[in-house]
Amino acid sequence: MLNKKKAEQILAEAIRYSPADETEVILSGGKTFSTRFTNNYISQNGAQKEYDLTVRVAFGQQVGVASCNLFDGDNLKQVVDKACLAARHSKPDLDWTSVLEPRETPEMQDAYLQETIDYTPSEKAERLAPILKKSIERGLTSAGMLVNGDQMLTMMNSKGLFAYQSLTSASFTYTAMAPHQGSAWAEFHSHDMREVEVETLADQAMERALLSQNPVAAEPGAYTVVLAPSAVIELVEFLNYLGFGGMAYQENRTFTAGKMGEKLFDERISLIDNPFVKEVLGPGFDYEGHPKQALALIENGVIKNVAYDRRMAQKSGVKSTGHALMPPATMGPFPTHIVLQPGQDSLDSMIASTERGIYVTRLWYSNVVDPKQAIITGMTRDGTFMIEDGKLSKPLRNMRYNESVIKAFANVEALGDRIYAFHGYFGKLAVPALKLRDFHFTGVSQEA
């Protein structure tokens, strides 16, 4: 890991090279050590290291961005020159506002765990060995990945703002497949390798894979659904994408536009963005160096806030919430560390209280059908079951859903009592299980 001092030197040197009126420099990246297994053996073992330096300069309102993965001496100077050249030959960005004044952005000291980054490929192989052995013994096929790594984000601007944060990461994703179209899934993410419950998760998935064999087709229609956290995550990602980006909001493209302060969801639904929650741990500042704090997006079903960076904040006449993405951030700002607050119910009790419904392990390959109505479509994956009389009664073929996330989060029957961490498109998310009524399935995956 590039340490704080070395990073600070590189950033300061880049700023010294810049003749621009204002300059922001970001250094980000890290290492990834991934052990991938397929068909019950380790199929791919990789070590990757990547850092990128991004320079944004402004002459008046003429802005340019350049980035590079070489940042010693001449290369550093060249990337600054490139950004300047781009800016000087550009047209003014009328929404550009001045870089931020320096302020305190405290560094989290316990986000970087040496044991996690030092975890070796041999240790990972040893950890996986009993799982793969069991998988073979049970006649199953296992695939997945165990990864450790680190990430660093540091930024400096020409007014003297400096912020630095490094974090470690550990991830386990696991698919168990049984001979007769059985499939199950487990995943776990943390900044601490010690927390990754590889054995337990794999064991549970193997049992589920055996149960999910010989699936039958259910009739499409509206069902009560119990969604595992690994299914809920897909709905929350699209809730965020379609609702809470400041640029899309300002352009009246989101389902939240004109609905600020309105209650759209069940009152148990509260969504926050907060990088200080353990499950979604992240830097306490954004790509402009703006400090982050907990931001309520939905509170007891009511739309409370959307995310802003300084450019969109200026344009909308509000304050930045600290959600700038990597320059040039053409999509505008978005929440990046999202938590759907848990409720009171256990996953088992959600199933037990369901007379007739469908249990979904994952929703997969979802995409937008209608942005304003927030309708999305996708498929179930890795274990879909009919629930009858409070029990998983039979495995089902994967089903296609078409549902509005607005309706989904209004139709809440129960909310899980524990949140689980996931990695998403814009960053990290943590969600509990959910029980929803009237969830629409429109098709089945089946060869004619």
Partner 1 sequence: MIERDLAQLAVDTALQRGATYADARIIRLQTEQLDIRNGNVNGIRQHLEVGIGIRVLVDGAWGFAANPDLKKSKVEIAVDRAIALARDSAHLYHKPVVLARRAPIVTVWKSPCEIDPFGVALEEKLNFLFAAEEEMRRVKGIAFTEAGMDLWKEWQLFVNSDGSQIEQEIVQTGSGLSATAVSDTDVQSRSFPSSFGGQFKSAGYELIPMLNLKDNAQRIAEEAVQLLSAKACPAGEKTLILGGSQLALQVHESCGHPVEFDRVLGHEADFAGTSFLTPEKRNNFQYGSEIVNMVADATAPGGLGTFGYDDEGTPAQKSDIIKDGRFVGYLMSRETAEGFEMESNGTMRAQGWNHTPIVRMTNINLLPGNWELEEMIASTEDGIMISDNRSWSIDDKRLNFQFGGELGWEIKGGKIVGMVKNPTYTGITPQFWRSCDAIANQNHYQIWGTPNCGKGQPMQVARVGHGVSFARFQNVKVGVGYAE
Site for partner 1 in 307-336 (CB under 8 A): 327-330
Q: Interface with partner 1 includes 390 (CB under 8 A)? A: no
Question: Minimum distance between the CB of residue 97 and partner 1, rounded to whole angstroms?
Answer: 14
Q: How far apart are CA 55 and CA 68, in angstroms?
A: 9
Q: Interface with partner 1 includes 121 (CB under 8 A)? A: yes
Q: How far apart are CA 253 and CA 185, in angstroms?
A: 35
Distances (CA, A) of 10 to 66, 74, 107, 248: 15, 12, 19, 35
DSSP 8-state class, residue 32 = E
Question: Minimum distance between the CB of residue 125 and partner 1, rounded to whole angstroms?
Answer: 5
Question: Minimum distance between the CB of residue 66 and partner 1, rounded to whole angstroms?
Answer: 4
Contact 26, 2 (CB under 8 A): no
Contact 241, 427 (CB under 8 A): no
Other C-beta atoms lying within 10 Å of the C-beta of residue 290? 24
Part of the chain binding partner 1 (CB under 8 A), chosen from 9-17, 57-65, 151-159, 316-324: 57-65
Footprint (CB under 8 A) of partner 1, residues 348-387:
364-373, 375, 377-379, 381
Question: Minimum distance between the CB of residue 331 and partner 1, rounded to whole angstroms?
Answer: 10
Binding mask 210-239 for partner 1 (x = CB under 8 A): ------------x-----------------
Question: Minimum distance between the CB of residue 67 and partner 1, rounded to whole angstroms?
Answer: 5
Question: Minimum distance between the CB of residue 122 and partner 1, rounded to whole angstroms?
Answer: 5
Q: Interface with partner 1 includes 117 (CB under 8 A)? A: no
| Number of helices and strands in the chain (H, E) | 10, 19
Footprint (CB under 8 A) of partner 1, residues 399-438:
400, 402-403
Q: Interface with partner 1 includes 442 (CB under 8 A)? A: yes
Q: Interface with partner 1 includes 303 (CB under 8 A)? A: no
Number of residues binding to partner 1, judged by CB under 8 A: 96
Q: Interface with partner 1 includes 83 (CB under 8 A)? A: yes
Cβ neighbors of 447 (< 8 A, separation 6 or more) are: none
Q: How far apart are CA 136 and CA 134, in angstroms?
A: 5
Binding mask 235-254 for partner 1 (x = CB under 8 A): ----------------xxx-
Q: How far apart are CA 437 and CA 228, in angstroms?
A: 15
Part of the chain binding partner 1 (CB under 8 A), chosen from 13-21, 64-72, 193-201, 275-283: 64-72
Footprint (CB under 8 A) of partner 1, residues 260-289:
none
Q: Tell me, rounded to whole angstroms, the distance of Cα 10 from its chain centroid.
A: 29
Question: Minimum distance between the CB of residue 176 and partner 1, rounded to whole angstroms?
Answer: 9
Q: Interface with partner 1 includes 50 (CB under 8 A)? A: yes
DSSP-based three-state secondary structure for 41: strand
Question: Minimum distance between the CB of residue 371 and partner 1, rounded to whole angstroms?
Answer: 5
Question: Minimum distance between the CB of residue 322 and partner 1, rounded to whole angstroms?
Answer: 20
Part of the chain binding partner 1 (CB under 8 A), chosen from 128-136, 155-163, 281-289, 409-417: 128-136
Q: How far apart are CA 56 and CA 65, in angstroms?
A: 4
In the bound state with partner 1, the residue whose beta carbon lies nearer, of 4 and 82, is: 82
Dmax (CA) of the chain: 72
Question: Minimum distance between the CB of residue 47 and partner 1, rounded to whole angstroms?
Answer: 4
Footprint (CB under 8 A) of partner 1, residues 140-159:
141, 143-145, 147
Query: Which residue has 């956290």 as its token pair?
Result: 229
Query: Of the candidates 340, 338, 353, which has an alpha carbon nearest to the alpha carbon of residue 413?
Result: 353
Footprint (CB under 8 A) of partner 1, residues 5-44:
32, 34-36, 38-44
Q: How far apart are CA 13 and CA 321, in angstroms?
A: 29
Outline where DSSP puts E strands in 179-239.
Answer: 182-190, 221-227
* Structural tokens at position 178: 């049984």
Q: Interface with partner 1 includes 175 (CB under 8 A)? A: yes
By CB under 8 A, name the one of 9, 69, 293, 393 that touches partner 1.
69
Query: Of the candidates 183, 11, 201, 31, which has an alpha carbon nearest to the alpha carbon of residue 116?
Result: 31
Query: Of the candidates 300, 346, 327, which has an alpha carbon nearest to the alpha carbon of residue 27?
Result: 327
Tell me the β-bridge partners of 391.
388
Contact 52, 68 (CB under 8 A): yes
Q: Interface with partner 1 includes 3 (CB under 8 A)? A: no
In the bound state with partner 1, the residue whose beta carbon lies nearer, of 255 and 359, is: 255
